[in-house]
Amino acid sequence: MLTDIIANLLNRGLPRSPRAQQLCTQLNGKSLAIEIGEMARFHVASNGSTLQVTTGDAVADATLAGGPLSLLALAGTAPESLVQRGAVTISGDAQLAQQFRELAKLLRPDLEEDLSYLVGDVPAHQLGRFARRSASWTRKAATTTLTNLAEYLGHERQDLVPRNEGEQFLRGVDGLREDVERLEARLEHFARRVDP
User: Within the chain, how many helices (H) and strands (E) appear?
Assistant: 8, 5
Count of CB atoms situated within 10 Å of the CB of 98: 13
Q: How would you classify the pairing of strands 62-66 and 88-92?
A: antiparallel
Query: End-to-end distance of the chain based on CA atoms, in angstroms?
Result: 86
The residues spanned by each domain of the chain are 2-109, 113-194
Q: Considering the domain 2-109 in this protein, what is its CATH number?
A: 3.30.1050.10
Give 100: exposed, middle or buried? Use CB within 10 Å, 0-12, 13-18, 19+. Answer: buried
| pLDDT tens for each residue of the chain, 196 residues long | 678 887 887 888 888 888 888 988 888 888 888 888 877 888 888 888 888 888 878 788 888 888 888 877 777 667 777 777 778 888 888 888 888 888 888 887 777 877 787 888 888 888 889 988 998 899 899 999 998 988 888 778 878 787 788 899 999 999 999 999 999 999 999 888 887 6
